[in-house]
Amino acid sequence: MVSVTPGGQKIKVEVLGISKALLMIKAEQIIINTATEIGIAKGINHVKEEVEASIEGKRAEPKSVDTGKFLNSVDINVKGFKAEITSNVPYAKYLEFGTSVRAPRRHFGNTMKREEKKVNRILHTTLKTRI
């Protein structure tokens, strides 16, 4: 709401309710950020499960389980609105990208390609239901 007050040689214009509007915007931003974080968590957990299924040989890629160390090393790292799935075993990169004697298995890369649309749907649905 705008208030206009004549005052001799000047007119005073004051916008009323700005602080209330800013508080409302801030509250909405908190809701959006929280919904986004929840959507990212749901999406990344889904992809992690799919990477593990790939490693177990339950998807298109060859099975990569011998001792179970690689399968059990799959982990999620979240930083703000970014998340990644990693493995800390030294030979993970050789399984993913291959070597001169082993073809690449692409558990991480292929899974992300397969699941990208699903992750987008998860995020979209989470935002839609929480906002």
**pLDDT, position 114:** 98
Angle at 52 between CA 79 and CA 75, to 5 degrees: 25
Residue with tokens 């179970």: 68
**pLDDT, position 108:** 98
Distance CA 115, CA 20 (A): 42
Q: Are 58 and 123 in contact (CB under 8 A)?
A: no
Residue by residue, pLDDT tens for the chain (131 residues) are 667 777 777 888 888 899 999 999 999 999 999 999 999 999 999 999 999 999 999 999 999 999 999 999 999 999 989 999 999 999 999 999 999 999 999 999 999 999 999 999 999 999 999 88
**pLDDT, position 14:** 83
Distance of CA 20 to the CA centre of its chain: 31
Start-to-end C-alpha separation, the chain:
26
Q: Are 79 and 86 in contact (CB under 8 A)?
A: no
pTM attached to this predicted model: 0.84
**pLDDT, position 8:** 72
What percent of the chain is modeled with pLDDT above 70? 96
Distance CA 45, CA 6 (A): 61
